[in-house]
Structure 1
Amino acid sequence: MAEELLYLGLNDLHVALGGKMVPFAGYSMPVQYPAGVMKEHLHTRAAAGLFDVSHMGQVILRPKGAYADTARAFEALMPVDVLGVKPGRQRYGLFTNAEGGILDDLMFANRGDHIFVVVNAACKHADIAHMTAHLSGVCEVIPVTDRALLALQGPQAETALARLVPEVAAMKFMDVGVFGDIWVSRSGYTGEDGFEISLPMTQAEGFARKLLDMPEVLPIGLGARDSLRLEAGLCLYGHDIDTTTSPVEAGLTWAIQKARRTGGEREGGFPGAARILRELAEGPARCRVGLRPEGRAPMREHTALFAGDTALGEITSGGFGPSVEAPIAMGYVPAAHAEIGTKLEGEVRGKRMPVTVAAMPFQPTTYKR
C-alpha cells in the first residue's frame, strides 16, 4: 500500500496561488504555478522567487557539554572541517558511509551554542537516526517540526527580504543570523544570491504573503527549482550523488577542507576515508561532468552515454536551461573521457546524438561574497 502523502503547512496557500501539486519526497508539493516553469525560472534569475522547502529536515544539535565536543563528533561523520566554522557561519557537508559513498548532502551552521543542520527531505529520517546513533553521547539531536523553511532567491531577494528583516542586508554568502523568531542564512540552491528563512509555522503564511505582495517576488515550484540548480551545476541527492558515489567522483572536493585531507591537522577519521583520500591523491576512476547536447532536444536522466561503441555511463540530470537557452545535462564518465570539449554521444529513443563535455556551472553564480 502506498504511503499517504504529507502536506506542507503552507499547502492551502499553494493551492490558493494556483499551484499544480505533485508527490515529491513523500510530500504534496507545487511543481509550478500559473506563470509556468519557464517564466518562474527566468523571474528568479531577474528578480526574486519564493520557494517553500519546508519538506526538508531541520535539526538542532544542542551540546550536553562543550560545543567543541559536539563539533568534533559531528565532524567524525563527514570529510568536512566542522571545528573551523566560526559562529554566525554555515558550511556545506556530506555524510559518508564506510565505502566512501554519500549518505546525504546537507548544510550546517555554527549558531554559537549549538549546531543547526538542514538535510534533504527523502533522507531526513535516516539522517536523524544516523546523528542520534553517533552523537547522542555529546549532544541532544532535536528535530525541528514546528517551523516552515522558505527560500527567497534572485538578485532582488535582499531588497525584498530587507523590508521585513532589515538586518539581512549586512549578511554575506553563508552567513547565518537569528532575528527574533526568524532564522536566516544567506544561501540557496539556485546559483543566485538569496536566503533560506526558517520561521514558526504559525507565522509562515503571513510572512510568505507579505513577500508575495512585493512586485519583485513570484512563487516558484519544483520545476524551476530543478532547472535553476541544474544550470548552477548543483547535485540533486538520489540522482547525481548517492551511496555509491564518492565526493571526489562527484566533483565535490571543494567541500573537503585542507584540515581533513592527507597531511591536514585532522586528516581522515571519517567514514570511507581510505577511498576518499586515495581518490584525492590519485584521481577517481570516473567523474561527474557537465554536458551540452547538440540541437534543441534535451537529454534526460538515464540517457546512456557512449564513445563510439564503448558504453561510458549515463546522464544523471538533464533538461532545458531557460537562461542559457539550450539543453544541458550532467552525468558520469570515465576520467579519460572527462576533459572539457570531449565529444561523446547520448542515446535518445534508440538514436545516437552528439553531446560535448562542458564546464560547469552553465550559468554564472551571483553569490554576495
Structure 2
Amino acid sequence: MARSARLISKRMRRNSAIQLLDESEHGVEKRKVESDKRRRSLSEGSEPSGGKLALENPQQGHKGKLVGWVELSEVTLYREGTFSLCFTAILNDAEVVVKLLKSDAQLIDERAEDLFDTEIAVVLGGGNGMDGRSRHLVNMVGVGREERGGFVVLEKLTMTLEERLGNCRSSGGLGLSFPWWGGAKKKEDPWKDDLQLRMKTCLELARGLEHCHTGGLKMGGCVIHRDFNPKNLGFRDDGEAVVFDFGLSRVLENYTAVSNTMPRAMTGEVGSCRYQAPEVSCHSPYGAQSDVWSWAVVAWEIGTLQLPYGEITTGEYLCRVVEGGERLPLDGGWGFDEEFKGLLRECWEENMNKRPSMVEVVKRMESIMKIEGGKG
C-alpha cells in the first residue's frame, strides 16, 4: 500500500511538471526517454542533445525559449552532487545555471530521477508552477530532456548566502562586489553593518519557504526543502534573497501549514548537521516544522554573522544540541529585538509541533520590521 502511494505521488509530480509545460503557448515536447536509451547513451558516451521546450518566464516578464543542450555556450562544470552536475553557461547572451541529472545516477539509484522530477516541479513554482508565485524562489529559465537525462536551466544568482557571510567575516568585509554597492569596485558590504538590512534578508527567505509550505503547487501538497542552509540560499543582482536547490525536497499531501498538522511524516537524515532539527538528526519522523528550525538557525547566523555552534562535529552536535538541549545564544549584544529572540526560541522547540508555521514566522517578522503583509 505504501509503495503504491509513493508511485502515485511520483506520477503526480511528473504529470504536473509535464502539464505545466504543456500550458505554454509554444507547446512542449513531452518526455519520452526510456531506461534502455539512457543506458545506450551512457555506454556510447554521447553528448546531451536536448529536445526543444518552451515555457513562460513570468519573473522576467517575457517568454523564455527552452532549448537543447547544443544551444548553450561556454558550459563549465562548477559543482557536482550525488545525482546531478551543475554547470554555468550562456543562453541567449545571459548567464544561467544548468543542472543535469547524471545518467549513471539513474542506473544506480531509481530515486535520482524522482528527486529530479520533484525539483523540476518545485522550481516551476518560481514561475507558473505555484499559484501566486513567490519572487523569493529561484527563477526557472527552461527545462530540457534528452537521452542522457533531464536538465533544468535556472537564473544565475550573484552569490550565495554562504559566500556573503564568509565575506562579512573576513578582514574588513572586502573581497566581493555587488552591482548595487559599487559595481566592479570592491567596497565594504553595507549589509555587514546594517542589522535591519540583514533582517530584511531573513524575512525574504522566510517568504520563499512559506510559499513552499503553503501548498501553492498546482498538483497540491506542501513542499519541504529539507536542506535549508546558506549554500542553498542566494542573492540576485538587486540584493533580493532567493531560495534555491530543491534537489532534496519532498512533497507532503494534505498538509496544512497554518495548523502544522502532518498526516504523513518522513524519516531519514538529510541536510547539513548544524542546521538540522533534532528529529532529522535522530532519523525520527519530520516535516515542514523541521524547515522552520533550519530557517531560525540561518536567521541567527545572518543576525550575528557568526557560524552556528562554531566548528562542531556531528557527534558533538548530537551530544550538545540533540541530547543536551543546547541552543544558540541570543544575548550576545547583537541588537536583536525581544520579539525576534522569542520567535527564534519558539522555532527551536524540541517538540516540532510546538514550533510556529512559516506562515506565522512571516507575519511575525513583518510585525517586527513594521512591514505590512506582502510588502517590502
Alignment TM-score > 0.5, same fold: no
More helix by share: 2
TM-score when normalising by structure 2: 0.28
TM-score when normalising by structure 1: 0.28
